Structure formats: structure tokens, C-alpha cells
Structure 1
Amino acid sequence: MYFNINLLCLMLGFFLANILSTLPAQTGDWNIISGGIIATCNEIISKFIYKNKYIQKIVTINFINNIKIGILYGLFVDAFKLGS
């Protein structure tokens, strides 16, 4: 059961990365800025999660981590699409 939810969270993060990186980039000059903002927010969330030792034991933290992995994966895929 947890594998299905983890996979769903990963795909949700990938979908969110596609939405967040393509909506502001409609004009073509916000690609780098939107990617930087998404990566910065991702790192701030990681800072708050891993700062407290007791929060790491909660099961939902795994789901949040899978969403963050999906977001970073989506940004890499968008970068490869823009580079080709």
C-alpha cells in the first residue's frame, strides 16, 4: 500500500513541477527565475523538516520527500526539454 502512495506522491511532485515551471514561463523570460524559486522553496522545506529530529519519524515526511523528489525530477526533465 505504501508503494502505491509513494509512487503517487512522486508523480504528483512531477506534475507540480511541470505546472510551476511552465505557467510563469509563458513569456519566455521567467524560466530561470521560476526554477530558482522552486528549488529554493524545496530547500527551505528540507531545512525545517530535518532541523527537528522528532519530525523525521512521522510517516507523512516520506510522502513529502517523494513530492520533493518528483519536483526536482520534473525540473530536470524541463531543463532537458529546453536544452534540446
Structure 2
Amino acid sequence: MFLNISILSFMLGFFFANILSTIPAQTGEWNIMSGSIIVTFNEIINKKIYKDTNINKYIAIQLINNIKIGIIYGLFVDAFKLGS
């Protein structure tokens, strides 16, 4: 059960990455702002997750971490698509 939810949250993060990389970039003026928001979100989640040692008992935080990993993975895939 938890594996299915983890995969679903990862794919949700991948979908959010596609949204974050296409919608603000339509005008070309929001690239720096959206990049800084993504990095800030990533660092806040990292601080909350890796501060505690007993983090494995909180399922919601693990799901947020999977969404974060999906967003990072999706942005890397988009960067590779733009590079080729």
C-alpha cells in the first residue's frame, strides 16, 4: 500500500515539474523567480526532513519528500530535453 502511494507522489512531483517549467516560462520574465521559489521550497523541505532522526515514522513527510524528488527529477528531464 505504501509503495503505491510513494510511486504516486513521485509521479505527482514529476507532473508538478512539468507545470513549473512550462507555465512561468511562457513570458520569459519569470525564470529567475520560479527557479528561486523551487530552490527555496527544496531547501525548506530538506531542513525539515533531515533535521529529525526519527523521520521514518511520519508518512506525510515521506510523501512530501517523494514529491520533492519527483520535482527535481522532472526538472532534470526537462533540462536534458532542452539540451538535445
With normalisation by structure 1, the TM-score equals: 0.81
Q: What is the count of residue pairs matched by the alignment?
A: 83
Partner of 2:12: 12
Q: Separation in 2 of the partners of 1:16 and 1:22?
A: 10
- Tell me which amino acid in the other structure corresponds to 2:9: C
8 Å CA contact retained: 1:17, 1:75: yes
Identity score, percent: 70
Equivalent runs, 1:7-46 vs 2, <5 Å: 7-28=7-28, 30-31=30-31, 33-46=33-46
Separation in 1 of the partners of 2:28 and 2:82? Answer: 11
Give the residue type in structure 2 aligned to 1:69. Answer: I
> Where does structure 2 lack aligned partners over 5 or more consecutive residues?
none
The gaps in structure 1 that reach 5 residues or longer are: none
CA offsets 1:44-82 (integer angstroms, 9 cap, x no match): 22113333445x231211111111110000010010111
2:78 match: secondary structure: helix
